[in-house]
Chain A
Amino acid sequence: MEDLSYSAILGRMIFQFWPVWLALVLTYAVSITFKRRLGLYGKLFDSPVGMIGFGIVMFWVFTALLADYIVTFDPYAVFSGMKNKPLGTALAGATEGQYSHFLLGGDALARDVFSRMVMGARSVLAIAPAATAFAFMVGITLGLPAGYFGGRLDTGLSFLANLVLAFPVILLFYLLVTPEIVEHKILFFGAFLTTEEQLACKAAHEAGTAGLSCFGLSIPTMMAALLFIFPVIFVVVLLNARFFTDPKKRNLYVGLVVVFGLWAYSGLAFNADPSGELLTSLAQTFPSAAEFLGVETPIRDIWAMEPNLLNVFVSVVFVNAPTVFRIVRGIVMDLKSRDYVAAGQTRGEGSWYIMLWEILPNARGPLIVDFCLRIGYTTILLGTLGFFGLGVAPDSPDWGSTIDEGRKTLTLFPHAALAPALALMSLVLGLNLLADGLREESLRD
C-alpha cells in the first residue's frame, strides 16, 4: 500500500467527515428556511460572521456526536510500526476491513492521530458546555440578589468572588486537581484538627473502624456538594416565583424539580445515585424480561461521575462562576433602576419574581454572548489542565492532553501536537465569532 499525497489526505479527511457535512447542510437548510420564526437564533443567519462561527461550532458538535462513524481506528489502539509516522502513512499489515492509512500520522505511542483528534472533540464538548452552564447557574443565582439588594450581602459575595479571582488559575489547578486531593477526606467535624488526629482518622478509615467523629468528605466532593445545589435552587426559585399564586401547579412543578434535581444531585456530587442498584436488582428479579430487553447486569448508575472527572469539572466551574457573578451583578445594578422594575415593585411583585422574570429576561443578550465566549474560555482552561498533565485521564484523547504528549517530540514530529492544537483553536475561534455575530444581532433590536 502506497503512502498518500497531501491532496489525497485532505480528500480522504473531507470524505471521512461526511456525516458531519450532511448534518450541517440539513441544519443550515432548515434554519435559513425558517429564520424569520426563530428569534435571535434565526437572526444569526443574517450576519456572515455569526454564520461562519456557528458553522465551525456545529462542525465540532456534530463531530463529537457522530465521532463513532468518523474515526478510522480505535483512538486507544496501538499499531506496531506506526510510531511517529508522518501524515498519510499506509498501515503496515492492514487486514481486511481495516482502514488502510493513518491520515494524520501516528503519535509517540503509535496511535492514530486523526482518530484521537476526532474523539478528543467528544471529551472536550462533553465537559465545556456543561461546566459553563453550571458556572452560569451559580453566577446568576448569587449575582441577582447581590446586584438587586446590594448592602452586606453584596459586599460579602463580592469579596468572595474577588478572592477566587485573585487566585492564579494554574496554582489553583495544581492544588486542586491532584490524586491526593481526591483521596483525602477533610474531616467534617475538624477541618482544623491536628495532624495527629487526622492521621489517626485515616488509619481508622483504612481499618474500617471510623466513627462519626472521623466522618469526612474529599474537597472535590465538598465543592461539588456546594456548587451543584445551585442549579436545583435556581430552577426551584424560578418556578416558585412564577407560579406561587397557583399553588396546585406550583406544588406539582416544584415537586418534580426537587425530586429529579436531588436525584441527579445525589448521583453527581456524592456518587450515591440509587438507580443503578435498583435497576440491577429489578433485572435480576425478572431475568426473562431483562433478556428480552437486552440489558446486561450490573446496570450503571444514571447519574455518576468518575472522581477525576468530577474534580476537573468542579475546578472549572469554580474558576468560572465568580466572573459570571460579577457580570450578572453589574447588569442587574444597571437594570434595577428601569421603569419596569419600579412598576413591578408598585404592583407588589416579590423580589425574586422581579429578579428572575423581569430583570433576567432583559439581561439575556449580554449573557448569551458571554455564554458563548465562556465556553471557549472553558475549552482553553480544560486544554491548560491537559497540557499540565492534570486532565481527566492520562491516555484520554482530549486535546490538551494530546498536545502535552505531542510537545515532547515537538521539533521532530510536530504533527502529533499540531492536529489537536489546530482543532482546539478552530473551536474557540468559532465560539468567538459566534459570540460576535450574536452581539451584533442582539444590539440591533
Chain B
Amino acid sequence: MLIFIARRLGLMVLTAFVLTFVVFYLTNLPPNLEKLARSEGSVRMSDEAVAQWIIDNGHGGSVLGRYGQWLGVVPGWQNVDEKGVPRGRCFAAGTDPAAAPRYCGVLQGNWGYSTFFRGPVLQNLGEKLAATGWLMLWVMIVMVPTSLVIGVVSGMREGSRTDRVLSTFSIATTATPEYVSGVILVALLASPVTGLSPLLADWGWIDGKVLFQGAASPDKITFWSFTLPVLTIALYGIGYIARMTRASMTEVMTAQYIRTARLKGVSFGQVVMKHALRNALIAPFTVIMLQFPWLLNGVVIVETLFNYKGFGWTLVQAAGNNDINLLLGCSVVAVFVVLVTQLISDIGYVFLNPRIRLS
C-alpha cells in the first residue's frame, strides 16, 4: 500500500511539474510579454523600448531559468535599469538588494504580483477560492444525494417505468451543458419579462420583479441568489453520476448473493439497503471524485454567467487581461485539485473494494 501511494505521489509531482511548465511556457511566450509590456509600460512604446522593458523586468533569458525562478529553485533575477535603480524579483524597486532573500518563488510562498488585482496573487487567489468553496459545498450537498438516490432507485428494478423516467431525465441532464441550462434557468426563473417571474409578480406572490436572482455574490449568500448557480452546476453532474450509479446498481442486483438473499426470504428493501448498496456505491465514489475536474469547468462557466467573483471568474479575468502571475497561480490550483482528486479516488477505491489486492 505504501509503495503504491509513494509511486502515485511521485507520478503526481512529475505531472505537476510538467503541467506547470507547459502553462509557464505558454503564458511567457514573447507576444504575451510584449502585450504585458505595453499594458504595464506605455501603449505607444517603440519595439526597442518594449524589448528593453522585457529585459529590465526580468523576462529575459532562457525560459527554463525563469521557470526555475518562479518555482524558487534558481536565484531571483537582479539588474539595474537605465535610471540606475536596482531592480529584482525578490525586492521592491529602490530597496536594498543585499537585504532581500536569494530565492523567492512559489515554493517560498511568493506567487508574484497580480497586475489585474494590483496586489499579491496568493492573497487574492485565497479569497476567491474561499468564495468558490461555498459554491462547491452547496453543489455537493445538492448533487451527491440527489444523483445517488436517482441512480439507486432506477437501478434496483431495471426496465421498470420509474427506471425509464429517471433514465430519460439523466440522459437529458447530461446533454445539457452548464451554459445551456444556465440560460434556460435564467430565462425561466430570473427574467422579469419571460418565464414564471412575471406571472408570479402579477398574482402578487413575489415582492420583487423576479423569483430568483440572475447574479450571485460571495458576500451575500441567500437562497434566492444561490439556487440558480448551484442548480446549474449540479444538473450536469447529477445525470452523469446517476447513470454510473444505475449501471453499477443493476450489475449488483443481478449478482448471485443478492438472489441468495432474496431466496432466503429477506425483504426487497432489506436486500437493497443491507446487501446491494455498499457494493453498488464503489463505482460512483470514483466517478464523483473524478467529477471534480469537470466541476472546475462548470464553475468557470457558471461564475462567468452569474458574475460570481470566485476562482472561475478569476481565471477568466486573468486570461482575458494577460495577467501572467495570476494565470499561473490559477493553473497551479487547478492542477493540484485534479491530481489530488485522482489520488483520493484511487486510494479510496482500494479501501472500498477489498477484492483489489495491491502488489
Contact = CB atoms under 8 A, between A and B. Distances in A.
Given A184-B31, A400-B179, A429-B171, A411 B190 contact: yes
Contacts, number: 158
Nearest to A170: B300
Nearest to A406: B183
Interface string A26-53: 0000000000000000000000000000
Interface stretch (B56-64, B88-96, B140-148, B252-260): B56-64
B305 interface: yes
B18 interface: yes
Contacts of B180: 383, 403, 421-422, 424-425
A219 B313 CA distance: 27
Contacts of A422: 180, 184
B330 A387 contact: no
A436 B183 CA distance: 27
A180 B55 CA distance: 20
A414 B11 CA distance: 47
Contacts of A7: none
Contact of B342 (A159, A166, A167, A198): A166
A174 B331 CA distance: 11
A166 B187 CA distance: 34
Range class of the B interface residue count: 35 or more
Interface stretch (B115-123, B266-274, B332-340): B332-340
B179 A195 contact: no
Chain A interface size band reads: 35 or more
Contacts of A415: 194
A431 B176 CA distance: 12
A199 B28 CA distance: 13
Contact of B15 (A162, A168, A180, A433): A162
18 contacts: A163-B19, A166-B19, A166-B293, A171-B330, A174-B316, A174-B327, A175-B26, A180-B31, A383-B180, A384-B301, A387-B301, A410-B183, A414-B193, A424-B180, A425-B175, A425-B176, A428-B175, A429-B176
Interface of B: 11, 15, 18-19, 22-23, 26-27, 29-33, 35, 47, 51, 54-55, 59-64, 171-172, 174-177, 179-180, 183-184, 186-187, 190-195, 210, 214, 293, 296-297, 300-301, 304-305, 315-316, 319, 327, 330-331, 334-335, 338-339, 342
Interface of A: 159, 162-163, 166-171, 174-176, 180-181, 183-184, 192-196, 198-199, 202-203, 219, 376, 380, 383-384, 387-388, 400, 403, 406-407, 410-415, 417-418, 421-422, 424-425, 428-429, 431-433, 436
Given A383-B180, A410-B187, A414-B186, 19 more contacts: A166-B293, A166-B335, A171-B319, A171-B330, A192-B64, A195-B30, A195-B33, A195-B55, A195-B63, A196-B51, A387-B304, A411-B186, A412-B192, A414-B183, A425-B175, A425-B176, A425-B180, A425-B184, A432-B175
